[in-house]
Structure 1
Amino acid sequence: MQAEVTWPQNLLPHWRDDALLLSQTCGYPLVELLPDVQLVGTFQSSAQGCDGPRYRSWLVARSEDEHLTLSDFRGRRAVCNSNDSHSGFNALRYVIAPLAQDGKFFSETHFSGSHRQSLAALRAGHADIAAIDCITWALLRRNFPDELAGLEIIGETPLCAALPLITSAKTDAATLVILRSALQELTSDPRYQDLLHENLIGGFSVTERAFYDEVKAWKDAAAALGVTAL
């Protein structure tokens, strides 16, 4: 039986599909919305800002604000890709929580639909700051540098567990072993190094669900300071 490769528009049903063999999600949906899927592992990225199977977000603003720090954005406008994103939403909420007053830091927050759209909103002046995962930033810098024109990194979030690779809860144990073995082989085989380099993939780690506990811990830490949204 041959697996079908698809590019789904509606991700949550895709991730929850009993027939799912392999997909990549975000750590925040994993811990909040996907209790039944099995974790296959995590790619290690060679992008600046990553460390093994962990990554961070850059805090990005327009060049005119490059001299500012995060605290200087109190009362200004944020933009993030979606409220189920760790890198764009959960991570940003975590770092502004200690600076918030009465659970509020930004004057307003826009949701763009993607990191690229968040960067476009910054360039257009529709928002003032965003958290952009360092892998997306590195790929855009390499392939679409114009999308970063006029923007600067003014800060960063701590490292956190990177994007998880998942399979259905229905995937049997033997198949899970094969998936992990295939990904280990893929990332170590010299034949694929050019492709891996282009995608900033430097390796593969078998990770367990406990590795993603810190994603929820960031949500809980912000909530303990009275911040549940942006």
Structure 2
Amino acid sequence: MDAGAFVATLPMYDWPEVRAANDELWNCLRVSLRDHGFPAPERLERGEPADDLWRSRNLVLGQTCGLPFVRDLMQTVSVVGTPSYEIECGAGSYFSAIVVRNDSDIEDIADLKGRRLAYNSPCSQSGYAGLAYHLRDLAGDAPIFSEKIQSGSHRESVRMIAGDKADVAAIDAVAWRLAQRHEPAASGLRVLALTEPLPGLPMICARNNGWSVDRMHLAVVEAMATLEPDIADALLLNGFAPYSESDYSVIARRAERAQGVAL
């Protein structure tokens, strides 16, 4: 098959500071995928919206958020597995860090009532739905927050809090670790609480009768084993968990409960 007709995307943690490391990861993945018979393209696709790439019938490998997966993608993609990261969490799992400014008078969850929330996207498990589930005991007739501001990214949420444009945000644990390394504004923030762990951001491929997901999983495992230690460290990678579609049902259940929480 002509690999040029296919696409791959790893957009979820593709910060400028680690973009070269992501390219090196893809180089390893491309070689291994081709060795196992898959039509892996030469380079990652960064010019198209992630939503479009996730739905492409030519998607060889991508990474998505758990919430879009359970809401929109389950009928058109397969889960290849889930990367494990150096975030002090179980293999293939992650959580959100609920962060506030260092000088904030917010000391516990109850103090969040009436504050300003920054969130990356309403379609985000880590930045929105997971927070709503975590705060479900605070829910009442009135919204919990006085203002909700869509920032567009976890990194921008961190900057907004540091700049006193918001008071709190829930940040994906991997993004929070990257922010601590690469975003100066993170030094002005502290962690108020952690949400409960959930399956992390899955790697997916388009459903294709000619593709063995088990063989693709093996190809990814073998590729990650060839990563140079400095590349793995830059991306916080430490393995690849054999998660499948059924492991993400917990996200669907919690998202359903979170829908009743007025943030």
Q: TM over 0.5: same fold?
A: yes
C-alpha distance in structure 1 between counterparts of 2:87 and 2:220, whole Å: 19
User: After superposition, where does 1:45-124 map in structure 2 within 5 Å?
Assistant: 45-48=85-88, 50-65=89-104, 68-102=107-141, 104-124=143-163
Q: How many residues of Structure 1 are paired with residues of Structure 2 in the alignment?
A: 223
SS at match of 2:228: helix
How many Å separate the matches in 1 of 2:173 and 2:114?
Answer: 25
In structure 2, distance between residues paired with 1:171 and 1:185: 23
Listed one character per residue, the Cα deviations across residues 32-58 of structure 1 (whole Å, up to 9, x for unaligned) are: 11122111110011123x221100000
* SS across alignment from 1:149: helix
Moved over 4 A (4+): none
Match of 2:221 in 1: 184
- The amino acid that maps onto 1:188 is A
CA contact 2:154–2:175 (8 Å) conserved in 1: yes
User: What one-letter code is carried by the residue in structure 2 that aligns with 1:68?
Assistant: E
Q: Secondary structure of the equivalent of 1:195?
A: helix
Shift of 1:9: 4.1
Which residue of structure 2 aligns with residue 42 of structure 1? 82
Q: Percent identity?
A: 32
For normalisation by structure 1, the TM-score amounts to: 0.91
Deviations along 1:100-124, one digit per CA (max 9) or x if unpaired, are 1116211121111100011111111
CA RMSD of aligned residues (A): 1.7
1:14 aligns to what? 53
Question: What residue ranges of structure 2 are gaps of 5+ in the alignment?
Answer: 4-40
Q: Structure 2 counterpart of 1:90, which letter?
A: A
CA change 1:76–1:44 in 2 (3 A) is: same
Instruction: Note the C-alpha offset of 1:193.
Output: 2.7
Q: Pairwise mapping of residues 183-202 of structure 1 onto structure 2 (< 5 A)?
A: 183-189=220-226, 191-202=227-238
State TM-score, norm by structure 2.
0.80
Higher RCO, 1 vs 2 (CA within 8 Å, ≥6 residues apart): 1
Q: Which moved more, 1:60-69 or 1:109-118?
A: 60-69
Paired residue secondary structure (1:93) = helix
Matched, 1:168 2:206: yes
Letter in 1 for 2:253: A
- List alignment gaps of at least 5 residues for structure 1: none
Shift of 1:66: 6.3
Corresponding residue for residue 127 of structure 1: 166
